[in-house]
Amino acid sequence: MNNHVSVLEINGKALEHNLNYFKERLESNTKILAVVKAFGYGSDGLQVASFLQDKVDYFAVAYTHEGEALRNAGIEMPILVLHPQIQNIDQLVKNRLEPSIYNFKVLAAFLDYADENLLMNYPIHLKFNTGLNRLGLWHNDIPLILSKIHESKHVKIQSIFSHLAASEDHDEKDFTINQINNFAYIVKQIYEHLDYEPMIHILNTSGVVNYPQAQFDMVRIGIGLYGFGNDEKETSQLKNTHVLKSIISQIHMIEPGETVGYNRAFVSKGFSKTATIPIGHADGISRKLGNENGYVIINNQKASIIGNVCMDMIMIDITKIDCKEGDEVYIFKTQEDILHMAEKTETISYEILTAISQRIKRVLTS
């Protein structure tokens, strides 16, 4: 039972709006893969997947246990595991999850398992490195890759894919187009040696916006589903899905010269009023947001975070705000709030969202 009073609300209408925004940019036959890894970018992967399962074609997670959790929650759609580990192959297959094959070691291990267990046309996805240099097979290994797959009668290539390195950066347009062209060449080589044509996909959220000519068979939407387009203009067209709320636990009247919090980091210059909120750095609120770098919202007014952020609490200045103990507090409510937190903590929206502790209760609203 989770009795933490802070709550992360996931806005279902915003999720659907964002999905439809990208759908409108796609050809009618282009499939959509929704990325729900990392607890649905810090929200709730199970609730998000349940909400989206009749609206998209595929799901993707990073690790096998994430896919297993989706299966246990009743999700029956195809699920691509982007970073499977060899020791989890049995767990992956038992949950009907589809592995990304990104190197020869994983390929050999999966083919051995498939042959030993007499799997039937088990779907695998070949990931090729075209410039991100993170995970992926190399194009010059295609003959060897295909020869090993042809030796097995138990797997089938479901898709061929790659990942763009800088699709949001207009200064890297030449590099991105080169990635897309290299990927198309890889696909052509593979198709020549197969009697069927696996799906192909390379575009992420920013890729859908900036390189619509490379939709191929499917696109992968991640951060865009949750309200961010890696571009100010695109983000303005999306709706924020994550709303983090708490309450005022206690209000203090502070006299001039009194201090607040650890290390006496805040010193009152006059008579002031402070409030304590039950959320802290153990919940994903960076210590960098303390000492008036960050704010929360009470009754549509911004209240600065004062002193040092504690593990379970923050203190805020409410001197000019009419409020009382028990009143609702928004830690963040809009994209602007989240981007402000990202700026002040020298990071990106992804990290703000995924840093929210799992002890915070999640609720999907519609």
Give CA–CA dist 299/337, Å, rounded.
Answer: 15
Q: 173-191 and 142-151 are packed helices; what angle lies between their axes, rounded to 10 degrees?
A: 40
CATH value at residue 249: 2.40.37.10
pLDDT at 11: 98
**Residues spanned by the domain of 192:** 12-228
Residues 6-16: pLDDT tens digits? 999 999 999 99
Residues 80-116: pLDDT tens digits? 999 999 999 999 999 999 999 999 999 999 999 999 9
CATH value at residue 38: 3.20.20.10
Give CA–CA dist 130/163, Å, rounded.
Answer: 7
Q: Do 62 and 195 fall within a single domain?
A: yes
pTM to 2 decimal places: 0.95
Q: Do 65 and 166 fall within a single domain?
A: yes
Q: If 0-12 CB within 10 Å is exposed, 13-18 middle and 19+ buried, where does residue 90 land?
A: exposed
Q: Do 56 and 186 fall within a single domain?
A: yes
Residues 259-303: pLDDT tens digits? 999 999 999 999 999 999 999 999 999 999 999 999 999 999 999
pLDDT at 230: 77
Residues that are catalytic:
37, 262
Structurally, the chain folds into a number of domains equal to 2
Q: Do 173 and 252 fall within a single domain?
A: no
Kindly report the backbone phi and psi dihedral angles of residue 339, in degrees, each rounded to the nearest multiple of 5, phi listed first: -65, -35
